[in-house]
Structure 1
Amino acid sequence: MWPAPVTLTGEHVILTPLSHDHAAALRMACADGDLYRLWYTAIPTPEGMVAEIDRRLGLQTAGSMLPFCVMTPDGTPVGMTTYMNIDAANRRVEIGSTWYRRSVQRGPLNTEAKRLLLSHAFDTVNCIAVEFRTHFMNQQSRRAIERLGAKLDGILRSHQRGPGDTIRDTAVYSIIASEWPAVHANLTWRLEQPRR
């Protein structure tokens, strides 16, 4: 399997291979802020958490996803993220299907999680590009992706069907290997700044 399952550890976050052992804590995490009620994203309900873990692990078995449980340094599960749409032949991955409980949003956890995932993708498994996709209307996600240093590749109009018969326009961003040193320096600088 490329990339192989791995645990990535930082000062503010631990990314560990997703398992059913995380289900109970992730049910509580998605209930923090009723994240699953957001119309423009697909976050599992507490009742649907086991099915979502099954789905992600099934995609891992098929070779198209590497799912992680996002944990605080004390080992508390607070969300999920993945390498997805894995293209081993072209050495490309997408970082996506990410969500965090409300209480850890807008802190250093997301910045460090993305730095760990990007570093592993570029420095360890030699990706040529890493992609990010989000709903065009998800302004919080788009701003976070742009703060990483990803560039907008374009908008896929009427790309997918969403909840309630909505049609999703997808904003596609990427970071390419030659941009990684500057993106890494920026993420490291951001993590070193005092939080207000």
Structure 2
Amino acid sequence: MIYPTMLEGKRIQLLPLRLDHAEELFKCAGYPEIWTYLPNKVEKFEDMVELINNSIQAKESGLEYPFVVYDKELKKLVGSTRLLNISEANRNFEIGWTWYTPEVWRTRVNTECKYVLLKYGFEEFQAVRIQFKADIRNERSNRAIERIGAVKEGILRQDRILHDGYIRNAYIYSVIRPEWPDIKMKLEEYLSN
């Protein structure tokens, strides 16, 4: 499977994550609230380098495809997102490991990222299912996933140990192929404003 070298919306571009993004990503990652519900925590530059190197290794193994998020309005990188648990045989993957600098929280950035990733998934990758997971305590992420129209399927109990030792429970959501046309229309309405 050939993955995209760029996905683009009106405000954002998703570009393949590279090690030379580390410095700019580290600048926008310096907010502890970003890392509360994520498995790793970025406190120093070396943490960002390790995070990127791990992502690139997962990409090389075919399990993940990580992107940086470039904000065309702000003219800078504002975060990262990934395709995870990629299964070409089953034509599915997960969208996750998404984080943004708080400067773009509650803007169109996240909606547009999800839209271009879902569009790629259903229209180019020919996915039958795309899933999302979020810590059940992460109200902001859960609301965002529900807002795009993903269906909450249940709770994955104790699915991950976070950087602080907390064993989290996560909600699991999905969008399946027959739901995509309605969700696409809904997202395009959100993004038309």
Aligned residue for 1:35?
Answer: 33
Partner of 1:81: 81
2:62 corresponding residue in structure 1 = 63
In the alignment, does 2:135 pair up with 1:135? yes
* Cα shift at 1:27: 0.3
Unaligned runs of 5+ in 1: none
The alignment's TM-score, normalised by the length of structure 2, stands at 0.93
**Deviation of the 1:158 alpha carbon:** 1.8
Aligned to 2:144: 144
Q: Is the 8 A contact 1:91 1:128 kept in 2?
A: yes
What is the RMSD of the two structures over their aligned residues, measured on CA atoms?
Answer: 1.4
Secondary structure at the residue paired with 1:156? strand
Gaps of 5+ in 2: none
Distance in 1 (alpha carbons) for counterparts of 2:79 and 2:43 = 12
**Is the 8 Å Cα contact of residues 26 and 79 (structure 1) preserved in structure 2?**
yes
TM-score (normalizing by structure 1): 0.92
- Residue equivalent to 2:14: 15
CA distance in 1: counterparts of 2:167 and 2:136, whole angstroms? 11
- Check conservation: 1:28, 1:46, Cα contact below 8 A: no
Counterpart residue number, 1:97: 97
Q: Distance in 2 between matches of 1:37 and 1:82?
A: 16
SS at match of 2:85: strand
Name segments (4+ residues, structure 1) moved above 6 Å.
none
Q: What do the CA deviations read for 1:20-70 (whole angstroms, capped 9, x no partner)?
A: 121111001111x333552x2235334211110000000000100000010
1:188 corresponds in structure 2 to: 188
Whether the aligned pair in 1 keeps the contact of 2:34 and 2:100 (CA below 8 Å) is no
Distance 1:164 1:14 in 2: 32
Counterpart of 2:33, as a letter, is L
Q: Give the 3 Å change call, closer, same or farther, for CA 160–14 of structure 1 in structure 2.
A: same
- After superposition, what is the alpha-carbon deviation per residue over 1:79-135, rounded to whole angstroms, capped at 9, x for unaligned? 010000111110001000000000011101111111000000000110001000011
Does 1:106 pair with 2:123? Answer: no
